[in-house]
Chains A and B, each alone.
Chain A
């Protein structure tokens, strides 16, 4: 089964850091580009970052630029999101998603991991 499973979420204090992981299975991970998306409580989807299959191309959304770092380990079929200087407004469900090749869309989504920023 093609699957993405996020982990690493939890409660963190304002100003803290957190590293999220996304484990892939059921497909050839190193052939696919990936993204991170978050969804604050009761809000819509917000794109955070994109990484190409070889890590050669990386993009960040303006709202989080400078506080996030995306990376991947193709040998371990894993995607990561390092978050720094977290704020209350970063509280959200964080999803990883797979790029559907040559479609400009994202066809496989994880179940999400919850990040809560609070003192």
Chain B
């Protein structure tokens, strides 16, 4: 199996920058993706191929991936960004998800 590790929770003040990390063995050699999941809703893809944003995702969402760590950065965080965030990567024939980070905007 392939493990991705995320901090359980991150807090940020409105308008500030939130950085969410995801660690895995040689993760930088793979493509990392990020999903946002608001309570009671399905996951939504917000970053793919480390840095790319799907259509409709605000520019305040950005990503990076190097070494063993991928990072999702939310600039100018808004209240609507409060959600669970999951990283994901492929390892051979396995799809791995991180345990998720609960982002609190307060």
CA distance in complex: A25, B98 (Å): 29
Chain A residues, Cβ within 8 Å of B43 = 45, 95, 97, 109
Q: Are A44 and B54 in contact (CB under 8 A)?
A: no
Task: Classify the interface of chain A: helix, strand, loop or mixed.
Answer: strand
What's the minimum C-beta distance from A111 to chain B, rounded to whole angstroms? 6
Task: Classify the interface of chain B: helix, strand, loop or mixed.
Answer: strand
Question: Is B89's beta carbon under 8 Å from chain A?
Answer: yes
CA distance in complex: A37, B98 (Å): 13
Question: Is A32's beta carbon under 8 Å from chain B?
Answer: no
Instruction: Give chain B's interface residue range (CB within 8 Å of chain A).
Output: 20 to 34
Question: Is B61's beta carbon under 8 Å from chain A?
Answer: no
Question: Is A75's beta carbon under 8 Å from chain B?
Answer: no
Q: Are B1 and A105 in contact (CB under 8 A)?
A: no
What's the minimum C-beta distance from A22 to chain B, rounded to whole angstroms? 12
What's the minimum C-beta distance from A83 to chain B, rounded to whole angstroms? 18
For A6, give the chain B residue with the smallest CB separation: B42
CA distance in complex: A107, B54 (Å): 8
**Chain A CB within 10 A, most for which of B30, B31, B43, B86:** B43
Q: Are B45 and A104 in contact (CB under 8 A)?
A: no
Task: Identify B42's interface contact among A44, A47, A59, A109, CB under 8 A.
Answer: A109
Q: Are B45 and A105 in contact (CB under 8 A)?
A: yes
Given A45-B35, A104-B33, are A109 and B44 neighbors across the interface (CB < 8 Å)? Answer: yes
What's the minimum C-beta distance from B55 to chain A, rounded to whole angstroms? 10
Chain A residues, Cβ within 8 Å of B95 = 35, 47, 50, 59, 61
What's the minimum C-beta distance from A78 to chain B, rounded to whole angstroms? 19
Using a CB–CB cutoff of 8 Å, the interface residues on chain B facing chain A are 1, 30-31, 33, 35, 37, 42-45, 48-49, 52, 54, 84, 86, 88-90, 93-100
A and B contact pairs by CB, cutoff 8 A, 6 listed: A47-B95, A50-B95, A95-B42, A103-B33, A104-B48, A106-B35
